[in-house]
Every structure is written in C-alpha cells, then in structure tokens.
A and B are shown apart, each in its own frame.
Chain A
Amino acid sequence: MKKGSFEAFYNKNLDRIYRYVFFRVGRNRDVCEDLVSEIFMKALKHFEKYDPDISESAWIYRIAHNHLANHFRDTKQSADIDDVKFFLVGERGEETIITQEEQRHLYEALDKLEPDERRIVTMKYIEGYSYKEMSAVLDRTADALKVATHRTVKKLRSLLKSKKDYVSP
C-alpha cells in the first residue's frame, strides 16, 4: 500500500464524503465526524482493492453509502440514504436553528424536488462532484446528467421564484 496514494485519495475525497454524510445525519457535526472517520478507516483497510482507473470516486461513495446504511440500521432509524432531507424537525417557527430567511427558502425548495433531482443537485453543487465522477456513481452518462442538472436547477429557480424575497439571477 502506498502512503502517498492514500494521502492523495484522502485529500480528494474527504470534503465530499463529509458533505454527503453531513446532510444525511441532520447536519450533526459530531455524528458526521465519527461516521466519516469510520468510513475512511474502512477505506484504508481495503485500499488494496481501490482501482482509480475503474472509478476515482464511486468506490469511496459506495463505502460511505453502506456505512450509513449500517449506521441507520444500528440506531434503528428509518432513512432513505439515497435521499437528503434538508429541513429538520424543529426548524420551522421562531426557535429555528436556521435564522436566515433565504436559506430556509432554499431548504424548502430543495425538499420539494424529486429525490433523484435532489441527489443530482446536491452531488453537483454541494458535494462538489464533476459530471464524469457523477456518471460513475449514478451509472448515467455525463451528458444525461448535464441535462438533468440543468432542468433541476431551472425547476429549483421556479420554486424559489414563488417565494416572496426571491429575485431571479
């Protein structure tokens, strides 16, 4: 196993996997950090199997997905790991954690998207994957993903337009 290779792999994927987990555990940093640590430990253990020629990102993405599934099973939580829910219970009302109106609108709009659409937007704009990397993870062509992302962003804008404070970019 090459330390340099793993370090490069770690630097490339840490932020994305962190974001992937972060929005699936209710933006809880402590839980997120524990899970991300475990995911990378697992990746290190099986790093011999990693073949960047096959896919640079899909391998760690799959480990993260399976690890989250185990976590939800162990904690007896029911969750759709492929989907992300942005609005948390307790966020509405005066005691909301999110005080910024704009962000609240965006979370609401994101939650109104179809799960597939939400997944594409979060992967592209929040987790920071390229279309090529997304195509390896989602098993769709990069061109198809470009079109789908474009449509989803358009839909998201129209959802936000209906909000009082939103002005189209």
Chain B
Amino acid sequence: MFRLKRQLKNMHQQATPSHAFKMHLWHKLAEELGEASDCVPVRRFRFATVTGIASLVLVFGMGTGVYAYESPSVVDGHPLHFMKEGIESVEGVFARSPEGRARFHTRMMSRRLEEGETHLQDAAHAQRALERAAIQFEYSVDEVAGGFKDLERRGSFFDDLSVQQARYVELSSRVLESEDEIGGPWSLQQRVETHELSSEELRRLFRMNHGAMIDEEQR
C-alpha cells in the first residue's frame, strides 16, 4: 500500500546529493572563484573606503554641529547658522511640558544675549540678537502663564528669568543709542503686559531693574 505523493517524495530524497559531495564541490568552486575573481578584494577596498569616508563625514559633521551650536559668534549670515537653528529646533521638540518649554525659551534667550554680547561691535547683529532675545522672553512668560501651575516653581522660574531680563537690559544699554529704539529696557515689560501675571510675579521678574523702573516713573 502506498501513496503517490509520498513515493515521489521518496524519489526526491533518494536523488539528493550527499553533504560530502556538496562541500567538496563548493570548495572546488570557491578555489576557482578566488583565482578567477579579483573583485572580492576590490569590493573590500571599496567598502573600507566608503566606511572611512562616511566616518570622516560623520565626525566632521558632528564636530561642526557642536561648534555651530556652542559658538555665540555663529549668528545670521554665518555659513553654519542653519546648523545652529536646526539643532535648537530639535532641542525644542524634546521640551514637552509647559515648564520644559518655558525653560527652553529662557535658555534660548540666554543664547541670543550671548550672541549680542559677542557682536557688540556690530550694532546690526547685536540689535537683532536683542530682538530675538525679547521674543524668547515673551515665549517663556507665555508658557508659564499658559500652564505652569505650581506657584513655588513659578516663582523660582521667574527668579531665573529675571536674571536674563537684567542681562537684556544691561546689553541694550550698551547697544542702543536711544531708549526709544526697539529693544529698549521697557520693551520686555510691554511684551508681558497682556499676560495674566500677578503683581508679585511681575515684581520678581523685573526686580533686578526695579530701580530703573522707579526712576522712569519719577521721570
């Protein structure tokens, strides 16, 4: 008693080459292949070259990126400015909570001020840096007002932001000829007027130039 498919399968099995034959023939072919082909070492050389070049590009790219990100001399018009902006954008993506986003904008404000300080001799660059720092300041306050609930942490954050605010005022006094120009010491206060901040928070935020505010009011 037998079945057709099983019988055909048996025939299939019987006509299978032995493992020894397979190995022996492959060794013969591999030997022949090694002699006939000089492409294998060439391919290895190509692989090594491509890997080497890719590594160099990667290292160079990372080094350049770090330099662009860290250096305050990289500002608008610099060939690496796009890298700096790109890295900062990525950094911004990772700031998810209102507090994280607020702190991110504060950090960006600090970076813009640093750029302005580096380009003090170039009034146009320094002014642009001030404008951009003011925008980051507003974003920070916006994030705090929008969803930063913990009062203690809010207070602590305003203390940190007030340091940047004081830096801004100090830099603008060195850069701007007239206090009426955009970026003057009062521009930050104007920017947060529409936000719902308590008088205590406003006081903490602008405490470092409180004297200047009083002087102005008296004037």
Contacts and interface: CB of A to CB of B under 8 A. Distances in A.
Interface of A: 1-3, 6-7, 10, 14-15, 18-19, 22-23, 27, 33, 36-37, 40-41, 44-45, 102-103, 105-106, 121, 125-128, 153, 156-157, 160, 165-167, 169
A6 B33 contact: yes
Contacts of A10: 26, 29
Interface size class of B (residues with CB under 8 A): 20 to 34
Interface string B1-38: 11111011111100111000110011011101100110
B15 A121 contact: no
Contacts of B43: 2
A126 B11 contact: yes
Nearest to B2: A102
B32 A169 contact: no
Contact of B4 (A36, A40, A127, A156): A156
Contacts of B11: 103, 106, 125-126
B5 to A, nearest CB: 7
Nearest to B34: A3
A44 B17 contact: no
15 contacts: A1-B33, A3-B30, A3-B37, A7-B26, A14-B17, A19-B12, A37-B25, A44-B33, A106-B4, A106-B11, A127-B12, A128-B12, A166-B2, A167-B1, A167-B2
A165 to B, nearest CB: 6
A56 to B, nearest CB: 18
A125 B9 contact: yes
B25 A36 contact: yes
Contacts of B32: 41, 44
B163 to A, nearest CB: 62
Contact of B36 (A1, A128, A153): A1
Contacts of B1: 165-167
A45 B28 CA distance: 13
Given A19-B12, A125-B9, A33 B29 contact: no
Given A1-B37, A44-B33, A18 B2 contact: no
A45 B25 CA distance: 15
A7 B40 CA distance: 13
B15 to A, nearest CB: 4
Contacts of B2: 102, 105-106, 165-167
Given A18-B15, A167-B3, A169-B5, 5 more contacts: A37-B25, A41-B28, A103-B10, A125-B8, A126-B8
Nearest to B32: A44
Most central of B4, B36, B37 by chain A CB within 10 Å: B4
Given A1-B39, A102-B2, A103-B10, A15 B17 contact: yes
**3 interchain residue pairs of minimum CB distance:** A102-B2, A125-B8, A169-B3
Given A3-B30, A3-B33, A125 B5 contact: yes
B29 A6 contact: yes
Contacts of B10: 103
Contacts of B40: 3
A72 B32 CA distance: 26
Nearest to A169: B3
B39 A2 contact: yes
